[in-house]
């Protein structure tokens, strides 16, 4: 069984690469309780969860995040959440058509006088984009660009677990407090928010500012394990701390710089609050449930053909193993009279 | 093509007619059916056939992908995802092509290691080895060009780094770089020419592969015993078997086992060998936090980054490039560096230890290439806190602390005095990845430039068998059994 | 290997050897066939191409006596608003004398209420001869029979899109379309 040796050589190389991709400064993303249904060679997406996830995307995420690689028809194609065997052509699926028709999009074709009209989307259209371009998106989001979510689960180490962990990983209300601090006036003059205050207290050496402080040491996500964080994290205006977001907390950390908390600050405030959507199927919309569902939806959207991939893979593996066994016998037949 | 008398006899009227005009059937018969092949080849020798399958797979799937791909900066990323989503079986073909590149390199590294261990580069196979090195170089070029095409973040910034290497050359570097990119930066024109060249190079590889097989069939295969098959008819019969069916079936079996590993990646972990950042569309304004090449180039990337010092007038940047290209160039002259008359390391116990050290070096270099060079492997001591402040005389001063409380108290005290003071971290000395990479780079070059030349002169090898037939009987059988 | 066929045991042995080789080769061939299917199927229409193969057209804007041309999936279609005279001419034809006999009614698809909208004729815009696009009212040439004229090889179509003269073998086909509302039709390939 000498060939086992080179198989193990291959696995060694794979392990090497896997270690290369371990994440750095952020908390390692984790699966929801009970794990994902879609992991493993035979795992399949829970399509009801993906359906609910589409609702969460539409009602929560879609106001800032586009999915330019997704089309309405994808929802009804084989392997999609709203696939109906009665309508093999997704363009005829009434549910998919109604999803499309609810969105008004800017037509890509000019009208008779050369202007571009808004019209209800068709199933062949890409998902409605929340902003006409990147500049508009940045302007509406304080300079941050909400990333396109089409392939987000493939574009982040951790995939769906990352989305789930990020959405549920914001500090809980109990550890967030605000306080008023006095800042030397000359330090804040270029900050828009406090300009009025400066004018009001003209001549004063200091102005008062409100500062958001996070008691990281008592955050649920960070309190277990052997790491303990003694100090305060000052959250910048318009930024939100999340231990799963890749970044650097050192500049905002008042405490031992050798033990700055993991994660970083992102421009997206926490989005999911209990009951933020009312699910069509009556499922209770807890934060965990919504995060789980939308992650499952994005997992599907990142690779709509993953079900086909796994089923084709299963058949291919069985075929290859049978062929290998046949060749093994063939090989021994042919070589039986030769010393080697 | 082969150095043995042809045994092909055309039987039908048509094959006789064809044989006297274009003896292509004879060529195929002599090369792949009747070719006398040492009968003691082990599974390490199946990688030639596996590589042929890899090349065919890449060319076929690549031609198909080119039917759907758009080589423009605005369309490339979306067209790749369209292949994944809308083209019938496009996801399968793209995953085969992307993982196929990794499988190709996995196989070529095993193939090269086989050659190194069994001395397959030694006379009379020097040209065979050099042609293999040419194929390897072309493969690296093709892989780099192909990695740019999806136009993700790693594609773009990886291409920036690689073209930057060329820019490091003195005098002509910048002009060559601009010529290669077709402008001051990587843009639409670069993508388009990279696509064209990525399509061209595999056919050049196929051409050199034909030469490689030709050069193989003149002296015939090396073998684990490292002794040549005997030329007299009696000895030849005892030492060799015809390629078909003996090695077609053995290679076939190995190919299918290899395909099982290949399929496991394609179907169950298609993106594990890639980098998540490459699913973010290229953005010239934002460089990813860690730029790393694909796994198969990591050892050379580690050598490049290990050179952090200048030597004389040559600065570290150029020196790194020289070492990196040198590490590949050295392979071309290997046949003349190894002075040992014995081919197979089976009979060179000392050289064998150094060889395994070399394999470990390559794997560890890969680890270094994947890691941040400044990360510690073995920390020596703990990080200290340094409070820097302006002292009474207006000079910069520092004070070092172990405990945060003490440092903070001191800083606050200074701040209260109206003096600027800040805490910074002084990293403890450590044995870092860059140090490991430097040691490994040293071993890499020493292996070829010092160990192999000197060892061949000083080492006392074990007795080689007198023939392949004897080697087979001596190794595996207590009592000689009648063969064939 | 071939000289030893004397004992039955070895004959069986040879048979089994042949069987395993045939089974192996057949299995390998089947796999190659499956892979070939993948590589052939990829050239079929992709799902985004297929999805773009239907279109809603507002027919209220078609001028009387004129036509609107639309492209669906790259193929041209004509929507013609026929005058009373043109409808009469189309209905008056003796169907039995036509090369491709079809009544005008057979070439119309009823609206949602079941009635025929005789004023609106929808046909393919591809000449059935060799695939040129015939000229019509908008190009100022409607041929000898008042419908369309194909300039490539001189086929004349009447006001129902039927072939009347020239090399084309059959009428301009009526596409798969339906009335979404009295003023909108949906044409699909």
Q: Domain spans of chain C?
A: 1-44, 49-188
Query: What are B256's two structure tokens?
Result: 């299918």
Domain B35-377+434-468 listed as CATH 3.40.50.740: no
Q: Are residues A159 and A281 in the same domain?
A: yes
Identify the band that residue A104 occupies on the pLDDT scale cut at 50, 70 and 90.
very high
Cα separation, B170 vs B163, whole angstroms: 14
Q: What is the pLDDT of residue C74?
A: 86
Residue with tokens 């002169």: B457
Q: Are residues A218 and A303 in the same domain?
A: no
DSSP β-bridge partners for residue A209: A181
Q: What is the pLDDT of residue A187?
A: 55
Please count the residues of chain B.
Answer: 484
Query: What are C128's two structure tokens?
Result: 């059935």
Q: Is B30 helix (H, G, I), strand (E, B) or coil?
A: helix
The residues of C annotated with a catalytic role in the active site are 153
The verdict on residue A300 lying in a domain is: yes
Q: State whether C1 and A337 contact (CB < 8 Å).
A: yes
Q: How many domains does chain A have?
A: 2
Identify the band that residue A21 occupies on the pLDDT scale cut at 50, 70 and 90.
very low
Integer-rounded Cα radius of gyration of chain A: 26
| CB-based burial, B222-250: b 16+ in 10 Å, e otherwise | bbbbbbbbbeeeeeeebbbbebebbbbbb
Phi-psi region of B422 (alpha: psi -120 to 50; beta: other; left: phi over 0): beta
CA B77 vs CA A151, B70, B72, C8: distances in Å? 11, 8, 9, 66
Query: What are A316's two structure tokens?
Result: 């291919």
Query: What are B116's two structure tokens?
Result: 């190194």
Mean pLDDT, residues A219-242 taken together: 83
- Report whether B84 contacts B94 (CB < 8 A): yes
Chains that touch B (3 or more CB pairs under 8 A): A, C
Q: Are residues A234 and A182 in the same domain?
A: yes
Please count the residues of chain C.
Answer: 189
Q: What is the pLDDT of residue B403?
A: 87
Within 8 A of B81 by CB-CB distance, chain A residues are 69, 150-151
Q: What is the pLDDT of residue A131?
A: 94
- Report whether A254 contacts A234 (CB < 8 A): yes
The verdict on residue A322 lying in a domain is: no
Cα separation, B125 vs B222, whole angstroms: 9
The verdict on residue A197 lying in a domain is: yes
CA A36 vs CA B2, B32, B399: distances in Å? 58, 50, 51
The verdict on residue A286 lying in a domain is: yes
A6-20, B117-131, B397-411, C103-117: lowest mean pLDDT where? A6-20
Mean pLDDT, residues C18-46 taken together: 94
- Residue predicted with more confidence, A247 or C12: A247
Share of chain A residues as helix, strand and coil, in percent rounded to the nearest 5: 45, 10, 45
Instruction: Let me know if B33 is exposed, middle or buried by CB neighbors in 10 A (0-12, 13-18, 19+).
Output: middle
The verdict on residue A331 lying in a domain is: no
Q: Is A126 helix (H, G, I), strand (E, B) or coil?
A: strand
Tell me the domain boundaries of chain B: 35-377+434-468, 384-426
Within 8 A of C27 by CB-CB distance, chain B residues are none
H or E stretch at C78: strand C75-81
Q: Are residues A289 and A154 in the same domain?
A: yes
Identify the band that residue A258 occupies on the pLDDT scale cut at 50, 70 and 90.
confident
User: The sheet that has B396-401: what strands, in order across it?
Assistant: B396-401, B384-390, B421-426
Q: State whether A326 and C27 contact (CB < 8 Å).
A: yes
The verdict on residue A1 lying in a domain is: no
pTM, rounded to two decimals? 0.89
Please count the residues of chain A.
Answer: 340
Q: State whether C24 and A326 contact (CB < 8 Å).
A: yes
Q: Which of A266, A296, A325 is the last residue of a domain?
A: A266
Q: Please tell me whether the peptide bond between B124 and the residue prior to it is cis, using omega within 30 degrees of 0.
A: yes
A46-60, A139-153, C64-78: lowest mean pLDDT where? C64-78
Domain that holds residue A189: 173-266
CATH of the domain at A146: 1.10.760.10
H or E stretch at B244: helix B243-268
Whether the CA torsion B91, B93, B94, B97 is positive or negative: it is: positive
Q: Are residues A289 and A222 in the same domain?
A: no
Residues 6+ apart with CB under 8 A from B269: none
Cα separation, C153 vs B179, whole angstroms: 52
Q: What percent of chain C has pLDDT over 70?
A: 91
Q: State whether A338 and B272 contact (CB < 8 Å).
A: no
User: The sheet that has A176-184: what strands, in order across it?
Assistant: A176-184, A206-214, A231-235, A253-255
Minimum Cα–Cα distance from B259: chain A residue: A320
Of the candidates B259, B270, B370, the beta carbon closest to that of A19 is on B370
How close are the terminal C-alpha atoms of chain C, in Å?
63
Q: What is the pLDDT of residue A1?
A: 38
Identify the band that residue A218 occupies on the pLDDT scale cut at 50, 70 and 90.
confident
Cα separation, C27 vs C24, whole angstroms: 5
Q: State whether B85 and A304 contact (CB < 8 Å).
A: yes
Mutate to test the interface with C, among A329, A334, A335, A338 (most CBs of C within 10 A): A329
Q: Is B311 helix (H, G, I), strand (E, B) or coil?
A: strand
Query: What are B23's two structure tokens?
Result: 């003896």
Q: Are residues A206 and A238 in the same domain?
A: yes
Indicate the Cα dihedral angle B373, B378, B383, B388, nearest 10°. -40
Q: Is the pLDDT of residue A185 over 80?
A: no
Q: What is the pLDDT along chain B (484 residues), one digit of tens a residue?
A: 445 678 899 999 999 999 999 999 999 999 999 999 999 999 999 999 999 999 999 999 999 999 999 999 999 999 999 999 999 999 999 999 999 999 999 999 999 999 999 999 999 999 999 999 999 999 999 999 999 999 999 999 999 999 999 988 889 999 999 999 999 999 999 999 999 999 999 999 999 999 999 999 999 999 999 999 998 999 999 999 999 999 999 999 999 999 999 999 999 999 999 999 999 999 999 999 888 999 999 999 999 999 999 998 999 999 999 999 999 999 999 999 999 999 999 999 999 999 999 999 999 999 999 999 999 999 998 888 998 888 878 788 888 898 888 898 888 888 888 888 888 888 889 999 999 999 999 999 999 999 999 999 999 999 999 999 988 886 544 444 444 3
| CB-based burial, C160-175: b 16+ in 10 Å, e otherwise | bbbbbebebeebbebb
Q: Are residues A153 and A288 in the same domain?
A: yes
The Cβ of residue A216 has, within 10 Å, a number of other Cβ atoms equal to 26
Identify the band that residue A56 occupies on the pLDDT scale cut at 50, 70 and 90.
very high
Q: State whether C20 and A124 contact (CB < 8 Å).
A: no
Q: Are residues A250 and A305 in the same domain?
A: no
Residues of C with CB under 8 A from a CB of A: 1, 16-17, 20-21, 23-24, 27-28, 31, 34, 47-48, 50-52, 54, 56, 61
Q: What is the 3-state secondary structure (H, E, C) of B266-279?
A: HHHCCCCCCCHHHH
- Report whether A106 contacts A118 (CB < 8 A): yes
Average pLDDT value over all residues in chain A? 86
Q: Is the pLDDT of residue A229 over 90?
A: no
Q: What percent of chain A has pLDDT over 70?
A: 85
Indicate the Cα dihedral angle B36, B41, B45, B46, nearest 10°. 80
Q: Is B22 helix (H, G, I), strand (E, B) or coil?
A: coil
Q: What is the pLDDT of residue B393?
A: 80
Q: What is the pLDDT of residue A209?
A: 82
Minimum Cα–Cα distance from C34: chain B residue: B89
Of the candidates C107, C105, C122, which has an alpha carbon nearest to the alpha carbon of residue C55?
Answer: C122
Beta strands B36-38 and C163-165, pairing class: unpaired
Q: Are residues A250 and A288 in the same domain?
A: no
H or E stretch at B152: none
Indicate the Cα dihedral angle C90, C96, C101, C105, nearest 10°. 40
Of the candidates A220, A159, A161, which has an alpha carbon nearest to the alpha carbon of residue A33?
Answer: A161
Average pLDDT value over all residues in chain C? 87
Residues of A with CB under 8 A from a CB of C: 71, 73, 77, 89-91, 112, 122-124, 319-320, 322-323, 326-327, 329-330, 333, 337
Q: Are residues A200 and A299 in the same domain?
A: no
Pick the CATH number of C49-188 from 3.30.70.240, 2.102.10.10, 3.40.80.10, 3.40.50.970: 2.102.10.10
Q: State whether A124 and C31 contact (CB < 8 Å).
A: no
Query: What are B241's two structure tokens?
Result: 């078997």
Q: How does DSSP assign B392-417, residue by residue?
A: TTS-EEEEEESSHHHHHHHHHHHHHT
Q: Are residues A282 and A252 in the same domain?
A: no
Mutate to test the interface with B, among A7, A15, A17 (most CBs of B within 10 A): A17
DSSP-H helix ranges across chain A: 3-20, 47-59, 94-101, 134-140, 152-155, 160-168, 185-188, 195-200, 220-223, 287-302, 306-335
Q: What is the pLDDT of residue C14?
A: 60
Within 8 A of B476 by CB-CB distance, chain A residues are 339
- Report whether A290 contacts A276 (CB < 8 A): yes
């Amino acid at each position: 069984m000498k060939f086992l040796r080179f198989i193990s050589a291959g696995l060694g190389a794979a392990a090497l690469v896997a270690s290369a991709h371990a994440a750095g400064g952020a908390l390692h993303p984790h699966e929801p309780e009970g794990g994902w249904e879609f992991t493993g060679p035979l795992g399949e997406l829970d399509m009801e969860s993906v359906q609910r996830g589409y609702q969460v995307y539409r009602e929560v995420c879609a106001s800032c995040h586009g999915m330019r690689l997704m089309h309405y028809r994808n929802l009804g194609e084989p392997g999609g959440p709203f696939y109906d065997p009665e309508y093999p052509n997704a363009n005829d699926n009434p549910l998919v058509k109604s999803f499309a028709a609810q969105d008004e999009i800017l037509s890509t074709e000019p009208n008779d006088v050369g202007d571009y009209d808004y019209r209800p989307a068709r199933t062949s259209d890409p998902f409605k984009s929340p902003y006409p371009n990147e500049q508009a998106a940045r302007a509406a989001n304080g300079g941050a660009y909400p990333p396109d979510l089409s392939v987000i689960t493939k574009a982040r180490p951790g995939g769906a677990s990352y989305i789930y962990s990020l959405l549920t990983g914001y500090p809980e209300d109990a550890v967030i407090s605000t306080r008023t601090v006095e800042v030397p006036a000359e330090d804040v003059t270029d900050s828009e928010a406090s300009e009025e205050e400066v004018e009001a207290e003209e001549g004063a050496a200091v102005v008062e500012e409100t500062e958001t402080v996070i008691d990281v040491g008592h955050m649920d996500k960070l309190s277990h394990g052997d790491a303990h964080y003694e100090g305060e994290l000052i959250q910048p205006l318009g930024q939100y701390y999340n231990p799963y977001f890749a970044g650097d907390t050192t500049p905002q950390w008042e405490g031992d710089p050798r033990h700055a908390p993991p994660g970083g600050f992102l421009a997206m405030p926490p989005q999911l609050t209990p009951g933020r959507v009312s699910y069509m199927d009556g499922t209770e919309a807890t934060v965990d449930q919504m995060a789980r569902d939308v992650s499952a939806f994005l997992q599907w959207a990142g690779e709509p053909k993953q079900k086909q991939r796994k089923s084709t893979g299963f058949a291919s593996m069985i075929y290859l193993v049978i062929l290998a066994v046949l060749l093994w016998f063939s090989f021994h037949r042919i070589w039986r009279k030769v010393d080697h | 093509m082969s150095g043995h008398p042809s045994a092909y006899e055309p039987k039908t009227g048509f094959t006789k007619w064809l044989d006297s005009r274009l003896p292509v059937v004879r060529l195929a018969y002599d090369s792949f059916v009747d070719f006398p092949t040492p009968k003691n080849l082990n599974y390490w020798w199946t990688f030639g056939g596996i590589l042929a399958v890899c090349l065919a797979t890449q060319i076929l799937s690549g031609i198909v992908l080119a039917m759907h791909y758009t080589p423009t900066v605005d369309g490339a990323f979306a067209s790749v995802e369209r292949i994944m989503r809308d083209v019938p079986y496009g996801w399968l073909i793209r995953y085969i092509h992307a993982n196929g590149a990794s499988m190709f390199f996995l196989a070529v590294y095993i193939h090269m290691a086989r050659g190194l261990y069994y001395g397959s580069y030694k006379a009379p196979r020097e040209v065979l080895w050099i042609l293999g090195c040419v194929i390897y170089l072309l493969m690296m070029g093709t892989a780099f060009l192909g990695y740019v095409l999806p136009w993700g973040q790693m594609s773009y910034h990886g291409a920036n780094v690689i073209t930057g290497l060329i820019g490091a050359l003195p005098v002509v570097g910048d002009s060559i770089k601009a010529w290669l990119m077709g402008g001051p930066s990587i843009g639409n024109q670069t993508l388009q020419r990279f696509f064209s060249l990525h399509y061209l190079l595999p056919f050049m590889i196929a051409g050199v592969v034909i030469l490689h097989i030709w050069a193989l069939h003149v002296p015939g295969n090396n073998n684990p015993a490292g002794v040549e098959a005997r030329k007299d008819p009696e000895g030849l019969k005892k030492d060799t078997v015809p390629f078909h069916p003996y090695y077609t079936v053995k290679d076939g079996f190995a190919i299918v086992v290899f395909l099982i590993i290949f399929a496991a990646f394609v179907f169950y972990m298609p993106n594990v060998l890639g980098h998540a950042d490459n699913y973010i569309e290229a953005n010239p304004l934002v460089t990813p936090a860690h730029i790393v090449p694909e796994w198969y180039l990591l050892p050379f990337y580690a050598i490049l980054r290990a050179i952090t010092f200048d030597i004389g007038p040559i600065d570290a940047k150029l020196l790194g490039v020289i070492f990196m290209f040198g590490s590949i160039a050295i392979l071309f002259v290997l046949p003349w560096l190894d002075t040992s008359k014995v081919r197979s390391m089976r009979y060179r116990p000392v050289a064998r230890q150094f060889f395994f050290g070399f394999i470990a070096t390559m794997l560890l270099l890969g680890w270094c290439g994947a890691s941040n060079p400044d990360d510690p492997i073995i920390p020596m001591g703990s990080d200290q806190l340094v409070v820097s402040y302006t002292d009474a005389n207006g000079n910069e001063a520092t004070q070092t602390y172990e405990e945060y409380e003490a440092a903070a108290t001191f800083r606050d005290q200074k701040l209260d005095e109206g003096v600027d003071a800040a805490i910074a971290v002084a990293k403890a000395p450590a044995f870092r990845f860059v140090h490991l990479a430097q040691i490994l780079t040293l071993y890499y070059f020493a292996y070829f430039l010092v160990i192999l030349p000197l060892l061949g002169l000083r080492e006392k090898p074990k007795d080689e068998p007198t023939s392949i037939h004897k080697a087979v009987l001596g190794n595996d059988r207590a009592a000689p059994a009648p063969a064939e | 290997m071939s000289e030893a066929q004397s004992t039955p045991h070895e004959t069986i042995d040879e048979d089994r050897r042949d069987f395993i080789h045939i089974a192996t080769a057949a299995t390998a061939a089947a796999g190659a066939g499956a892979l070939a299917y993948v590589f052939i199927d990829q050239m079929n229409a992709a799902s985004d191409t297929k999805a773009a193969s239907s279109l809603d057209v507002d027919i209220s804007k078609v001028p009387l006596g004129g036509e609107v041309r639309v492209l669906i999936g790259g193929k041209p279609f004509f929507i013609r608003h026929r005058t009373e005279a043109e409808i009469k001419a189309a209905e008056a034809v003796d169907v039995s004398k036509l090369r491709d006999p079809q009544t005008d009614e057979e070439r119309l698809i009823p609206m949602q209420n079941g009635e025929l909208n005789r004023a609106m004729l929808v046909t393919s815009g591809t000449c059935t001869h060799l695939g040129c696009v015939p000229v019509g009212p908008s190009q100022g040439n409607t041929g000898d029979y008042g419908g369309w004229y194909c300039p490539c090889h001189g086929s004349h179509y009447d006001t129902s899109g039927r072939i009347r003269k020239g090399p084309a073998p059959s009428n301009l086909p009526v596409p798969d379309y339906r009335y979404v509302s009295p003023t909108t039709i949906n044409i699909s390939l």
